[in-house]
Structure 1
């Protein structure tokens, strides 16, 4: 089996007396960080061309994925994107100023408002989603599809075993 940089750390962890389970957890954490870094760098390059941060992209993408008229409540965005309400509010202010989203009253609930993509926001969201697809494809270029599928399935098992922590 081919080894990576993380494998080089394992003997030190073993010498330190760490348990096999802890070592495996550290290996997962280190490798996930490396994969995240690869995706992060690829995404930043795509998003920079559009003048978007990752959080702004995430909000635009969530709204674009919602059923027409592409609107959600801020609380729904926060929950689905794992953002705090304050973080969501800041992102929405920037996207509103850019003309990508607009807020409107919710006639069904006077305590809440809708956030909806503008036509320009939908255009930018679709452009960003296309770029995200390219970034992910380029980041994983050369990785065999069966390897990607096994990794995705293994990570699903891991996230299901971890439950709803971090939400």
Structure 2
């Protein structure tokens, strides 16, 4: 079996007297984190060609999926969906508005609220960003058989369904 950088940590955990079940859990967490970082790095490299940050990509693609048309959501919905703070989403929306990718419009049903809507240029940029993300994902997994990727995705789904049910303080 091939080894990765996480395998180098295992002897130290064993020396520390950690039980094998905990070591397996630590390996899983470290590998999931490492994979996430590798995917994110590859996507960010592709997005930089479009002049987008990862957060901007997330907002554009989320709006692009939002009830087409009008491709709009409230900032609070975006914040919740993307797990960004209200300040974080506000900064991203300001940058996207300055680039002409989103517009803010009044909510006729609530004078205190506003909608964020993709512009035509924003939809074009969202599609380009999705293509860039697809290239990054394809490049990362190119050397792996599709069945291996499918099996990994299925196992991770099973873990996520179980772990996602837990409540943390």
Q: TM-score, normalised by structure 2?
A: 0.91
Aligned to 1:81: 82
Hey, what's the Cα distance between the residues in 2 that align with 1:89 and 1:160?
A: 31
2:117 aligned counterpart, secondary structure? strand
**Aligned: 1:35 with 2:28:** no
Q: Structure 1 stretch 143-152 or stretch 93-102: which is displaced more?
A: 143-152
Residue 101 (str. 1) matches residue 102 (str. 2) = yes
Aligned pair 1:21/2:40, yes or no?
A: no
The Cα of 1:76 is off from its aligned counterpart by 1.1
Q: Which sections of structure 1, spanning at least 5 residues, go unmatched?
A: none
2:45 & 2:5 partners in 1: Cα distance? 25
Q: Distance in 2 between matches of 1:72 and 1:102?
A: 11
Secondary structure of the 1:83 match is coil
1:9-158 pair list within 5 angstroms: 9-67=9-67, 68-158=69-159
* Count of aligned residue pairs for this structure pair: 166
- Rounded to whole Å, the distance in 2 between the matches of 1:5 and 1:45 is 23
Distance 1:6 1:129 in 2: 31
Q: Deviations over 1:70-115 (max 9, x none)?
A: 1011111111111111111110011111111000011122232110
| Cα RMSD, aligned residues only | 1.6
Distance 2:109 2:163 in 1: 36
Q: Residue by residue, what CA displacement relative to the aligned partner does 1:115-150 show, whole Å, maximum 9, x if unpaired?
A: 000111111111111111111101111111111111
Counterpart CA distance in 2 for 1:113 and 1:155 is 37
Secondary structure in 1 matching 2:103: strand
